[in-house]
Amino acid sequence: MEQEEKLEFIKDICTHWRKKLHLEQEAEDIAQDVVVKLLEKGKWDVTKGYLAKAAKHYCIDLKRQGVEKMAQLDEKIPCPTSLRDELDRRMFLDKALKKFTWVEQKAVRLRLQGVKLKTIAKETGLSLSRAQAIIDETAQELNRLWVSR
């Protein structure tokens, strides 16, 4: 199998698993990551079955990482235990978010509404990795502010 043919095959597998697992990354980006991993491990000259499994497992790992990041974000932003706590939290967030740039505010508000990272990146004009970094950094600072209030 030629190199370009392998890359297309991996891209097709990634497209399938990306849709099935509802991943935010583009299939081409995922496929390139799979190729880099295979090349680093010296496993480029393998069967189609091996390529398919490698791509599938990489997509599953991405999904797990995404779930873990959402759980980490939930841990960083305090969770209310009553209606009064919810109102306190909302008032705190409204006031505290004013200290951040509009991009940081928008990214965190969208993430708290359950908007996917890809959509947040598009709406704020950021790359996926930069959007994730801004959300993480802002959430950490919000948590610090919440604890110290």
For 36, residues 6+ apart whose C-beta sits below 8 A from its C-beta are none
Q: What pLDDT, on a 0 to 100 scale, did the predictor assign at position 38?
A: 76
> Given the structure tokens 């959007």, which residue do they identify?
131
**Contact by Cβ (8 Å): 106, 123:** yes
Average pLDDT score, the chain: 77
Burial class (CB in 10 A: 0-12, 13-18, 19+), 14: buried
CA–CA dist 88, 99 (Å, integer): 17
What pLDDT was estimated at residue 120? 92
| pLDDT tens column, 8-29 | 877 787 777 677 767 666 667 7
User: In the structure, what pLDDT confidence band is assigned to residue 76 with cuts at 50, 70 and 90?
Assistant: low
pLDDT band at 125 (very low <50, low <70, confident <90, very high): very high
pTM of the model: 0.45
pLDDT surpasses 80 at 138: yes
> Is residue 89 over pLDDT 80?
no
